[in-house]
A and B are shown apart, each in its own frame.
Chain A
Amino acid sequence: MDPILTGFGILADPISLAVILLGTIIGVLVGALPGLSSSMAVALLLPFTIYLEPVPAISMLAALYCAGTFGGSITAVLINAPGAPPAAATAFDGFPMAQRGEAGRALGMAAVSSVIGGIISLLVMVLAAPALAKIAHSFGPPEYFALAIFGLSMLASISGKSPVKNLIGGALGLLIATVGVDLTTGVERFTFDVPELYEGISFIPILIGLFAVSELLSQSDVIDQAKERINLTAIKLPSRDDFKQVWKTILRSSGIGTFIGILPAEGSTMAAMIGYNEARRWSKNGDKFGTGEIEGIAGPEAANNAATGGSMVPTLALGIPGSATAAVILGGLQIHGIRPGTYLFENQPHLLYSIFAAMLVANLVFLVFGLAGAKLFSRISLIPRTFLWPAVFALCVVGAYGVNQSLVDVTIMLIAGFIGFWLKRYGFGAAPIIMGVVLGSLVENSLAQSLIIFDQDVSRFLGRPVAILFFVLAALSIFYKPLFGAVHRMRSGPTISQRGE
């Protein structure tokens, strides 16, 4: 009981409560601003949390993550421009509803579905994370190596055009993590005689560069478009009839979102898309989806917010991020000297409950703030990019500089931004690179330790059933698409060849 009370004690501390509320408001705001994502906001805020105690710092980031996922739905409904990718599916039915004068009802449903999805996933988080950590207690380096490989292999199936490009991104991240003096041998790697690189490339400048500076460069060529903005008269909470219609959808999507979130690397965007598709598949009015169907809002909104709690499960229990934003939060844990996994649950069990409390508060607060302030947030989303992005750049510089008080970090941020811009142009996302950077040391250290245990005999991995299980899952996540594609082609071969596909 003690860890629970200690964890929830964060809500009794005015400063901690204030930073959680601040994180929630920033989250909704950032989520509502097209182009700014919750990953980017967490990355930008991370350097400033260094000045906070670890528990409120991580709680603030977690609250921002929750609120940012919801914030995107405001602009998705009101101006048909999802503030963040997870809200893209919400726009399919949210905007048509707004067009026919039901913006308040759509936003009310989005908020309530998000809160229910978020709270269900938090309950799963608080139950599943310690259990998973307990299982991981028996893991040795070979199992952790296999688990990290499984986590990276899941990059093949995250949203993006090309699984291979996601995997290349992950490998590039791993390569970045090798820069610096190798702690085992003392040998310099890719330091090019720059003393600031001896300790490796700082995580934060890379993060800010890849997420924020690359987006700034993309925004420089964006042509301003006049958006049709629906006037919001009043927010309407879902009626009893609405609830009757959507409760099954909300529960189903919450389950889907939590499960997708728990899978390493899979985030809210995929959860929302699957949530939407499943809502359509199971709905009696599936054919009306896309024309302003209330279930088309409840499905993706419950799923995308449920993915936030779900993604914290592997992040806290195993040190394997459940999503891109969770990867950034994992970086935050590392910066604050918190080691996820069994160690965390044995030595700082209250942290889990603090994060639970923070995310719970975030869910309840964004229900109030999000609804009461929807009108304001939708106006803020119309800030011209010409004024938004220079201020973001200033924050980027302060954030990159602030951690080590080093201008080299600012230079690294810019280089990461330029590289990120070109990679994005050719279909490589920032998230896989971040996942690679975060998992880099785990992959290398666990492999090296495994080789010592196995006396350099790699075949002895075969004697570790859990490691084999993770390797098989990794192989499946990489090859399931080509395998299923081949099977499908074999089954319907003549038809396909006739079509010339």
Chain B
Amino acid sequence: MIRHWRDLLPGCVLLVLAGVLYWVTTGFGTVPPSFAQGMQAADMPRLILGIIALLSLVMIYQGRGHDEEAKPVITWRMWATTLVLLASVFLFGVLGLTLTTMLTCLVIPLLWGERRKLHVVIYAIGVPVCIYLLFTHALQLRLPQGVLSPWLS
């Protein structure tokens, strides 16, 4: 039954999102109309949320009677890549950009099935070094270096 409602899942997610965010807007403060200059702070978000809800209903309606489209299978690689990216964000603060880039450039190719291990190692050293030289020295951009701060600045 659900298979014959093509966009039911994204439509429902959007409707729930619109509902929750509408509820969040009820907590927005208000100011006297003379300060509001035409619109209270919550008015615009509510208008947009209303439009999103309406369009989501239209989308669900348009999808009735249509089978869910075949989508590419999500394998463990996508989830593992997601985890690596998430972990890298947490590591930036501690290890700094150069070391974290080195790790991601080492892990992601191996995760994606790269078999030339020596190439991966050279790549994992080369990319962060190039980024460090280009951005820190050529473009004078201060990048967080974490534990390497005493040596790389």
Point out the residues of chain A lying under 8 angstroms from B75, CB to CB. 220-221
Interface size class of A (residues with CB under 8 A): 35 or more
Instruction: Tell me whether A451 and B89 are in contact in the complex, defined as CB-CB below 8 angstroms, given that A164-B62, A394-B104, A394-B128 are known contacts.
Output: no
**B147 contacts chain A at the CB level, 8 A cutoff:** no
> Which residues in window 100-153 of B have CB below 8 A to A?
100-101, 104-105, 108-109, 111-114, 119, 123, 127-128, 131, 135, 139-144
Chain A minimum-CB-distance residue to B124: A390
Chain A minimum-CB-distance residue to B38: A451
Instruction: Tell me whether A171 and B51 are in contact in the complex, defined as CB-CB below 8 angstroms, given that A185-B36, A216-B81 are known contacts.
Output: yes
Are A384 and B114 interface neighbours, CB within 8 A? yes
**How many chain-B residues does the 8 Å CB contact rule pick out?**
70
Type the 1/0 row for A160-189, where 1 means its CB is closer than 8 Å to any CB of B: 001011011001101100100010111111
Are B73 and A386 interface neighbours, CB within 8 A? no
Point out the residues of chain B lying under 8 angstroms from A407, CB to CB. 89, 92-93, 144
Are B139 and A168 interface neighbours, CB within 8 A? no
Are B128 and A221 interface neighbours, CB within 8 A? no
Point out the residues of chain B lying under 8 angstroms from A411, CB to CB. 89
Are A189 and B48 interface neighbours, CB within 8 A? no
Instruction: Tell me whether A184 and B78 are in contact in the complex, defined as CB-CB below 8 angstroms, given that A175-B45, A190-B24 are known contacts.
Output: no
Contact of B109 among A51, A386, A444 (CB under 8 A): A386
> Which residues in window 23-70 of B have CB below 8 A to A?
24-25, 28-31, 35-42, 44-45, 48-49, 51-52, 55-56, 58-59, 62, 69
Chain B minimum-CB-distance residue to A388: B109
A182 to B44, CA, bound (A): 10
Are A164 and B55 interface neighbours, CB within 8 A? yes
* A430 nearest CB across to chain B (Å): 15
Instruction: Tell me whether A398 and B135 are in contact in the complex, defined as CB-CB below 8 angstroms, given that A217-B82, A405-B142 are known contacts.
Output: yes
Contact of A171 among B39, B48, B128 (CB under 8 A): B48
Are A51 and B127 interface neighbours, CB within 8 A? no
Point out the residues of chain A lying under 8 angstroms from B104, CB to CB. 390, 393-394
A389 to B114, CA, bound (A): 12
Point out the residues of chain A lying under 8 angstroms from B1, CB to CB. none
Are A394 and B101 interface neighbours, CB within 8 A? yes
A93 to B35, CA, bound (A): 62
> Which residues in window 144-167 of A have CB below 8 A to B?
162, 164-165, 167
A449 to B38, CA, bound (A): 7
Point out the residues of chain B lying under 8 angstroms from A164, CB to CB. 55, 58-59, 62
* B53 nearest CB across to chain A (Å): 10
Point out the residues of chain A lying under 8 angstroms from B142, CB to CB. 405
**B77 contacts chain A at the CB level, 8 A cutoff:** yes
Chain A minimum-CB-distance residue to B25: A189
Are A401 and B112 interface neighbours, CB within 8 A? no
**B95 contacts chain A at the CB level, 8 A cutoff:** no
- Max chain A CB contacts within 10 Å: which of B30, B49, B89, B123? B89
A178 to B82, CA, bound (A): 28
Please name 7 pairs of A and B residues whose Cβ atoms are closer than 8 Å in the assembled complex, sorted by A.
A165-B59, A168-B52, A185-B41, A384-B114, A386-B114, A398-B143, A447-B44
Using A217-B82, A394-B104, A449-B38 as known contacts, list a sample of 4 further A-B pairs with CB atoms less than 8 Å apart, ordered by residue number in A. Answer: A51-B140, A184-B37, A190-B45, A394-B127
Interface residues of chain B, those whose CB is within 8 Å of chain A, are 7, 9-10, 14, 21, 24-25, 28-31, 35-42, 44-45, 48-49, 51-52, 55-56, 58-59, 62, 69, 71-75, 77-78, 80-82, 85-86, 88-89, 92-93, 97, 100-101, 104-105, 108-109, 111-114, 119, 123, 127-128, 131, 135, 139-144
